[in-house]
Amino acid sequence: MLLYDTHTAPTPRRVRIFLAEKGIEIPMQQVDLPSGDNLSAEMRAKNPIGKVPILELDDGTCISESDAICTYFETLHPEPPLMGTTAIEKAQIHMWARQVEFGLFMQVGMCFQHTTGHFKDRMTPVPEYGKEAGINAKKFMSVLNRQLAKSEFIAGDQFTLPDIIALCAIDFARVVKIRIDEKHSDLQRWYNAVSTRPSASA
């Protein structure tokens, strides 16, 4: 088993934190995104869209997409549960994971890609779109602040997958100068707690 990872990218970090919370250690191989190593024929054979992370099993089967990889490990190692145990827990965690994914994580990513031009050799940046994405990310932080006024973590009283996604998004958002607003006291309380978990440094 081998995990293709990039230490500086926020999406692979989601898997590393998930594994750390589970106490799972697997070998990892670094993929250099700026140089385009992920776009090689070898890597596209493992993931046709040329993105990391990718989990390669011993039989050669490859699983891409961070949530799919996390689901694989959740099934094999259900404790501690990070995707819920009851039907309602699983539904609410999945709901919040999707909302955080689209409302925050993806918006931060689009802001980075389209305002910095970091990958202009392989895409056409649209700065106006990037700026709007940054605005959308800040708006969604207000949604999270309201939710966290009602619960310790995003999907309830336990640390779960949506918390991992949000933590990675907020940390990466600093690259494009997006910060938690002073008025978002509940979001800040949550961030202080989750960012000091041992897994956050994975």
Q: Is the Cβ–Cβ distance between 169 and 100 less than 8 Å?
A: yes
Q: Is the pLDDT of residue 118 over 90?
A: no
Half-sphere exposure of 68 (CA within 13 A, CB side): 11
Q: Is the pLDDT of residue 7 over 90?
A: yes
Q: Percent of the chain, pLDDT > 70?
A: 100
Domain 2-76 has CATH 3.40.30.10: yes
* Tens-digit pLDDT profile for residues 18-62: 999 999 999 999 999 988 999 999 999 999 999 999 999 999 999
- Region(s) of the chain under CATH 1.20.1050.10: 87-201
Answer left, alpha or beta for residue 60, where phi above 0 means left and psi between -120 and 50 means alpha: left
Give me 167's structure tokens.
Answer: 């933590």
- Region(s) of the chain under CATH 3.40.30.10: 2-76
Q: Which fold has domain 87-201?
A: Glutathione S-transferase Yfyf (Class Pi); Chain A, domain 2 (1.20.1050)
